[in-house]
Structure 1
Amino acid sequence: MAIATMAAEKQLDLAALRGTPGFVIRLIQLKFFDGFYDTFAELGLTPATYAILMLVRDNPGIVPSSVATLLRLHLPNLTKILHQLEHAGLVKRSRSKIDRRATEITLTSKGEKLMRDAVRLTAPYNRRMLAPLSEAERSTLIELLNRVSPF
């Protein structure tokens, strides 16, 4: 961002917007996405693929509709991402043994390794992004965010 633009933004009155949770959360989301891309670029992960793979890792055999619902993704968009992840050898889709109409998603060994690598980066990334907060404040923030989370 140009220095002139940054200086102009510092003169703006943002008091009303700073009191609006949705606005502040959106700005923080953008900050976290920037940090995410910097941290996880070497692994080729995006915030969406990280969330999908983490959900599959923690819930082997999850069905795409559950992933789409939890992550607020349109099923056709998720299907496209799953196709890319499958093509990359990170996930496997197979027919459910319980309901032959359903497809279950699991990580491959390559996907499991990728997520182990991602997990090693996650704690330092979170600490860096939340550096202005003490450890207790970080815990409180996570607790409060989870309290207002839709799931």
Structure 2
Amino acid sequence: MHETRSGRTEKSPVLPSHRVPAHLARRFHQICLGVTAETLVHEALTPMLWGVLSAVLEEPGSGQRQLAARMGVDAVTFGQMIEFLEQKGLVKREIDPDDRRARQLYGTRRGADLRHRLRPSLLAAQERLLAPLSKAERTALLDMLVRLIEAHDSYARPGNGRRKPRRKSDTKPTT
């Protein structure tokens, strides 16, 4: 039971049968995206675009394919996000001098300024998100999430868990 904004008490939004990691992680992810999106909406950025921009700024000169893989994003989608950020003047791509087919990514001054400007609001949003937990619980939660992610990183690949597309040859005619 929990109290709503109107002061009413209602059942928890988590069903007993949904107290499993996959469901809870999905719901927590939805909440995290919503909290982050509130801050980014005025910049026409999604939380994922923000994550990509931050990664590029943190690791200047990273290879586009390598960064996509590290973030668990398929190369085509990642390339589209980089193109969008490039058009906004937030990142730039340069030809890798060791492999002319590859691209290295760099944040621009505009991208760094945007990150500097939005960072306090985004950190405040994260604080609101974790507000129901004590400081020790916050640290423990983040440490446990990192440990779980690092232990199971092999499952973090683009498209994992999606149904394979059905082909016409996969269906059998009914008689």
Aligned 1:1-151 pairs, distance under 5 A: 10=11, 14-18=15-19, 20-150=20-150
State how far apart, in whole Å, the 1-side matches of 2:148 and 2:57 are: 24
- RMSD between superposed Cα atoms in Å: 2.2
**Residue aligned with 1:102, SS:** strand
Aligned partner letter, 1:138: R
In the alignment, what sits opposite 2:172?
none
Aligned partner letter, 2:28: I
Comparing 124-133 with 93-102, greater Cα deviation is found at: 93-102
CA apart distance, 1:13: 7.9
What TM-score do the two structures reach when normalised by structure 2?
0.75
State how far apart, in whole Å, the 1-side matches of 2:14 and 2:140 are: 28
Counterpart contact for 1:43–1:114, Cα < 8 Å: no
Counterpart contact for 2:36–2:122, Cα < 8 Å: no
**Residue aligned with 2:104, SS:** strand
Q: Structure 1 11/44 Cα, relative in aligned 2: closer, same or farther at 3 Å?
A: closer
CA distances 1:55-101 after superposition (whole Å, capped 9, x unpaired):
11110011111121122211111111111111111111001223333
**Residue aligned with 1:94, SS:** strand
Q: Structure 1 81/134 Cα, relative in aligned 2: closer, same or farther at 3 Å?
A: same
Q: Between the two proteins, what is the percent identity of the paired residues?
A: 29
**Residue aligned with 1:132, SS:** coil
Q: State which structure, 1 or 2, has the greater radius of gyration over its C-alpha atoms.
A: 2
**Residue aligned with 1:73, SS:** coil
Q: Which of the two has greater helix per residue?
A: 1
Q: Which structure 1 segments of 5+ residues have no match?
A: 1-6
Q: Structure 1 12/113 Cα, relative in aligned 2: closer, same or farther at 3 Å?
A: closer
What TM-score do the two structures reach when normalised by structure 1?
0.86
4+ residue runs of structure 1 moved beyond 2 angstroms? 9-13, 42-45, 97-101
Q: Which of the two has greater strand per residue?
A: 2
CA distances 1:90-146 after superposition (whole Å, capped 9, x unpaired):
111001223333210101110111111232222211110111001111111110000
State how far apart, in whole Å, the 2-side matches of 1:129 and 1:13 are: 17
